Each structure stands twice: as structure tokens, then as C-alpha cells.
């Protein structure tokens, strides 16, 4: 069984399932798919939040989250059977149930289990680690359009800093650099870096589909508390 099979073009391979419907829960799945992210070739990943395991589908080649967070393994298998494929086509619940079980034991995204274990209090009080798994998941899940969804002041701050702008392929490096600077020296000493880090994180979290706010709303709350 291939738990890492996926499609080819990042954030551009969303398409409808074979029956043509953009939504719906076939085969008894109680969870709705994320808008525009149906029928992907995907594997199963998981994370824990406050000790509770949540599963999700992930298109590894596209670096794209393709399901909501699902905290029941049987429901995750049902969702996958209804809305996902592997490279050799669709499969039944029993097939996906084995991949769901595997996802609790290991990940194709991280080597260390600690990287996929999160606690609400830490998410609220600590900035995301630059280049870390939390930022990776945010980028893979969000529907953010950098051209239209980011605050205007962010691009100007990037220009003053001499960093890659939001429409640049290296913008993720800009966010990492700004987060590292703010985490080391504090936001008050580096207002442009804070404008970039806070602006990106706030906008990306606001554009999350489905129930991914379960993981990221505490981050947004922490950003708001630092601003006030």
C-alpha cells in the first residue's frame, strides 16, 4: 500500500471527483471534503493536539492538505474511501483503515514524532518555529492568495528589509527570517519583521478551510495578544 502517492502540481491540482460533485459524503463519510480538494491521490498523515490524535489526507507531491482534521480513525477511513485515491485508483475502507493505522505510528512528513505533537497553550504563547512543521502545515492547508489576501503594509516592510516579497517564490524564506528575528530580539525592536511575520500568519490562518482552525486558532490568539 502506497501511503505517500500524490499528484504533481502544487496548489493547482484541485479537481472534482469522478461523479462531478464538488461536495458530498459518499460511502457514508460523516466529513465534508475541503472545497476544491476532492479526488486527490493522497496518503494519510496525523498529528496530536493536546494528546488527541487527528488524521488528515495529504497530497505529498503537491504539498497540499486535502481533508479536514478527523479525530476518529474509522471516520478517516470512510472519508478516504469516499473522496481520495491512490496511484492505482480508489480503494475501500479496509484498505484505508490500514493506512490510517500506519499514520498513527509514523509520518512521511517528519522523522521525529515530537514535531507533530502540539499543545494549545504552547501554540498560543510561542511563535511558530521558522522552517518548522507547523508552518509547513499552515502553508499546505491555507487558501491564502498572497496577491490579494495580505495586508498592504507587509509588502512595503519586505521592501524596506530587502527581503523577497509576497509574490516571490522565496517569500517563505522571508517569513522564516522575520520569525527568527522576532523570536530572538522581540517584536518591538524589529517592527518591520513583526509586520511581515504577524501579517502572514494572521492572513494565512484566516484563510484556512474546514476545521483547521482547531490547530491554528490558538496561534492567531497569541498573535493578537502580542499586538494588544
Where residue 1 falls among pLDDT bands split at 50, 70, 90?
A: low
Q: How many secondary structure helices (H) and strands (E) does the chain include?
A: 8, 4
CA distance linking residue 8 with residue 192, whole number of Å: 36
Q: Which of 82, 39, 41 is nearest to 61 (CA)?
A: 41
Pairs from 186-192 (Cβ < 8 Å, separation ≥ 24): 187/226, 192/157, 192/160, 192/161
Strand ranges in 101-222 using DSSP code E only, listed in sequence order? 117-118
Does residue 201 sit in helix, strand or coil? helix
Q: What pLDDT, on the 0 to 100 scale, is given for residue 3?
A: 53
Does residue 85 sit in helix, strand or coil? strand
Give the number of residues written for the chain.
228
Q: What pLDDT, on the 0 to 100 scale, is given for residue 29?
A: 63
Residue where the block lists cell 493505522: 101
pTM over 0.85: yes
CA distance linking residue 157 with residue 168, whole number of Å: 14
CA distance linking residue 112 with residue 183, whole number of Å: 23
Q: Which residue has the higher pLDDT, 177 or 19?
A: 177
Instruction: Tell how far CA 66 is from the center of its chain.
Output: 9
CA 219, 224, 227, 228 torsion-angle sign? negative
The rounded percent of the chain whose pLDDT value lies above 90 is 82
Write the DSSP symbol of residue 70: B
62-75 residue pLDDT tens: 999 999 999 999 99
211-220 residue pLDDT tens: 999 999 999 9
Amino acid at each position: 500500500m502506497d501511503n505517500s502517492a500524490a499528484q504533481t502540481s502544487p496548489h493547482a491540482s484541485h479537481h472534482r471527483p469522478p461523479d462531478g460533485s464538488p461536495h458530498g459524503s459518499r460511502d457514508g463519510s460523516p466529513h465534508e471534503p475541503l472545497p476544491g480538494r476532492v479526488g486527490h491521490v493522497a496518503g494519510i498523515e496525523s498529528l496530536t493536539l493536546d494528546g488527541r490524535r487527528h488524521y488528515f489526507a495529504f497530497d505529498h507531491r503537491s504539498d497540499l492538505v486535502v481533508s479536514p482534521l478527523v479525530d476518529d480513525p474509522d471516520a478517516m477511513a470512510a472519508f478516504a474511501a469516499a473522496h481520495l485515491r491512490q496511484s492505482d485508483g480508489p480503494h475501500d475502507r479496509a484498505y484505508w483503515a490500514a493506512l490510517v493505522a500506519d499514520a498513527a505510528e509514523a509520518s512521511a512528513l517528519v522523522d521525529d514524532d515530537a514535531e507533530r505533537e502540539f499543545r494549545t497553550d504552547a501554540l498560543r504563547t510561542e511563535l511558530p518555529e521558522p522552517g518548522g512543521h507547523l508552518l509547513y502545515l499552515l502553508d499546505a492547508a491555507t487558501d491564502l492568495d498572497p496577491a490579494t489576501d495580505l495586508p498592504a503594509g507587509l509588502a512595503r516592510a519586505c521592501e524596506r528589509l530587502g527581503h523577497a516579497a509576497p509574490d516571490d517564490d522565496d517569500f517563505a524564506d522571508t517569513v522564516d527570517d522575520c520569525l527568527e528575528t522576532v523570536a530572538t530580539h522581540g517584536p518591538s525592536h524589529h517592527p518591520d519583521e513583526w509586520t511581515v511575520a504577524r501579517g502572514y500568519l494572521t492572513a494565512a490562518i484566516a484563510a484556512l478551510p474546514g476545521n483547521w482552525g482547531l490547530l491554528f486558532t490558538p496561534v492567531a490568539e497569541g498573535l493578537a495578544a502580542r499586538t494588544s
